[in-house]
């Protein structure tokens, strides 16, 4: 009797996988419902409670869980192989048990992911929330916007601190950035209530050096609701990366939208280092898009870059060039697959769509202020 009940429970747990998949794809047909009752309802409650509880810890619980889980999986696989090679009979039974346990584990994790965060992929686009009209733009519009962003970047760059090598520096370090990041979201929440809420502060990844080899600058962990930041990056990008992960924490799953929200919350932040970091993020994305469509205009516009901004861009490229390699390639492919599985059809290239939001904002501003 007990054995039959155990088998039934295992079957029920396995069914969580197709149930989670079904729930995720059905939710894509009701973005308004997801926006109102999940993203601004159930999710926001769950995430804030989780975030405030895990926020008590000074270090990332997510990092501890991921490392511990990886070690447990390695140990479990090693133990299973030892049992298979040692045992003369019943090997199929052992392997079947391992596969069954793996399927149960994946089912539970995926279903929990969908409930705790995944449905946010199917919420209303941020462009609708912000009232932006997304439409195709000519290269001239893109070029003019790039020039406007460069002017702002140059102005802000002259007001931030530099180190002895002439690179932008964070005087009080990363921890100080994490403690101030909420200020931009407080101001943004007055414009868009969807960006509001009380969450635990962002956390530094202890193994940031190793994380850099994957090309990942930060990660939101839905099972602990922590915004984790890779601090092994140039100082100029840390505030923007921090705000990017905080956007995920507030239920904006799409990478392109999280990038724009990072720019938005940095640009209206009261502190100059955040303003510059967010503007630099927007500059990098918009200039990359311009380069893809018109190399000549890109070269023309690049001449407007100030010396300080140029130095920071050179530093950024040199920094990440050190970590290029097979691990970075594999991580990119995995991330690409993950994004596509969650309905971001352009994969990693969806990051470029941030420019659509920047252009929509630029058009709105120029229409309101034609001079």
What's the residue count for the chain?
371
Alpha-helical regions (H) of 1-60: 2-14, 16-27, 31-33, 43-54
**DSSP code for 34:** I
Task: Provide the pairing of β-strand 218-221 with 203-204.
Answer: unpaired
Residues of the domain holding 240? 126-368
pTM comes to: 0.89
* Nearest of 316, 256, 248, 249 to residue 280 by alpha carbon: 316
176 Cβ neighbours under 8 A, 6+ residues apart: 170
For residue range 166-211, what is the model confidence (pLDDT) as tens digits? 999 999 999 999 999 999 999 999 999 999 999 999 999 999 999 9
Are 222 and 117 in contact by the 8 Å Cβ rule? The answer is: yes
pLDDT of 135 > 60? The answer is yes
When divided into structural domains, the chain yields a total of: 2
Q: What is the DSSP string of 152-187?
A: HHHHHHTTS-B-TTS-B--TTHHHHHHHHTHHHHHH
Co-location of 68 and 134 in the same domain: no
Q: Report the C-alpha gap between 317 and 336 in whole angstroms.
A: 21
Which tokens go with 41?
Answer: 């309802």
Are 132 and 354 in contact by the 8 Å Cβ rule? The answer is: no
Are 181 and 202 in contact by the 8 Å Cβ rule? The answer is: yes
Q: Report the C-alpha gap between 258 and 249 in whole angstroms.
A: 10
Residue 81: predicted pLDDT = 83
Q: Report the C-alpha gap between 113 and 216 in whole angstroms.
A: 20
Domain end position, chosen among 102, 122, 142: 122
Co-location of 110 and 133 in the same domain: no
Cα end-to-end distance, the chain, whole Å: 80
Co-location of 136 and 230 in the same domain: yes
Co-location of 150 and 48 in the same domain: no
- R_g of the chain computed on alpha carbons: 23
Query: Is residue 348 exposed (0-12), middle (13-18) or buried (19+ Cβ within 10 Å)?
Result: middle
**DSSP code for 83:** H
Co-location of 237 and 357 in the same domain: yes
Co-location of 309 and 222 in the same domain: yes
Are 221 and 154 in contact by the 8 Å Cβ rule? The answer is: no
Co-location of 136 and 71 in the same domain: no
Q: In degrees rounded to 5, what are phi and psi of residue 344?
A: -100, 85
Which residue reads 């659509």 in tokens? 356
Co-location of 6 and 116 in the same domain: yes
> pLDDT band at residue 325, thresholds of 50, 70 and 90?
low
Domain end position, chosen among 88, 122, 156: 122
Taking residues 243-256, report their average pLDDT.
96
Strand runs labelled E in the chain: 203-204, 218-221, 226-229
Co-location of 25 and 150 in the same domain: no
Co-location of 86 and 191 in the same domain: no
> pLDDT band at residue 159, thresholds of 50, 70 and 90?
very high
Co-location of 102 and 141 in the same domain: no
Taking residues 51-65, report their average pLDDT.
96
Q: Residue 91 to residues 97, 101, 104, 308: CA-CA distances in angstroms?
A: 10, 15, 20, 64
For residue range 293-311, what is the model confidence (pLDDT) as tens digits? 889 999 999 999 999 999 9
Q: Return the higher-pLDDT residue of 10 and 281.
A: 281
Residue 285: predicted pLDDT = 93
Domain end position, chosen among 67, 93, 122: 122
> pLDDT band at residue 8, thresholds of 50, 70 and 90?
low
Q: Report the C-alpha gap between 17 and 323 in whole angstroms.
A: 35
Co-location of 151 and 242 in the same domain: yes
């Amino acid at each position: 009797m007990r054995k039959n009940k155990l088998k039934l429970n295992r079957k029920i747990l396995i069914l969580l996988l197709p149930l989670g998949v079904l729930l995720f794809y059905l939710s894509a047909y009701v973005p308004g419902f997801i926006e109102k009752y999940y993203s601004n309802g159930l999710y926001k409650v769950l995430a804030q409670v989780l975030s405030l509880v895990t926020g008590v810890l000074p270090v990332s619980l997510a990092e501890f869980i991921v490392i511990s889980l990886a070690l447990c999986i390695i140990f479990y696989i090693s133990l299973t192989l030892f049992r298979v090679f040692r045992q003369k009979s019943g090997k199929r039974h052992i392997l079947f048990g391992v596969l069954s346990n793996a399927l149960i584990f994946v089912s539970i994790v995926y279903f929990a992911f969908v409930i705790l965060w995944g449905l946010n992929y199917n919420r209303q686009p941020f462009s609708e929330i912000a009232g932006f009209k997304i439409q195709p733009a000519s290269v001239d519009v893109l070029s003019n916007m790039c020039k406007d962003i460069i002017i702002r970047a140059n102005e802000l760059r002259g007001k931030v601190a530099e180190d002895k090598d002439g690179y932008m520096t964070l005087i009080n370090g990363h921890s100080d950035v994490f403690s101030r990041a909420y200020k931009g979201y407080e101001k943004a929440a007055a414009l868009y209530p969807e960006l509001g809420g009380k969450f635990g502060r962002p956390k530094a990844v202890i193994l940031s050096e190793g994380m850099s080899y994957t090309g990942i600058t930060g990660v939101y962990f839905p099972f602990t609701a922590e915004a984790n930041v890779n601090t092994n990056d140039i100082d100029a990008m840390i505030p923007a990366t921090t705000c990017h992960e905080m956007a995920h924490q507030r239920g904006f799953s799409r990478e392109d939208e999280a990038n724009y929200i990072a720019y938005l919350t940095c640009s209206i932040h009261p502190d100059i280092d955040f303003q510059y970091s967010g503007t630099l993020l927007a500059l990098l994305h918009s200039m990359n898009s311009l380069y893809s469509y018109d190399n000549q205009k890109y070269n023309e516009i690049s001449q407007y870059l100030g010396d300080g901004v140029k130095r920071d861009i050179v530093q950024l490229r040199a920094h990440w060039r050190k970590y290029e390699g097979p691990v970075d390639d594999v991580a990119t492919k995995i991330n690409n697959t993950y994004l596509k599985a969650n309905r971001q059809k352009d994969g990693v290239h969806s990051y470029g769509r941030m420019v659509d939001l920047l252009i929509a904002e630029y058009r709105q501003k120029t229409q309101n202020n034609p001079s």
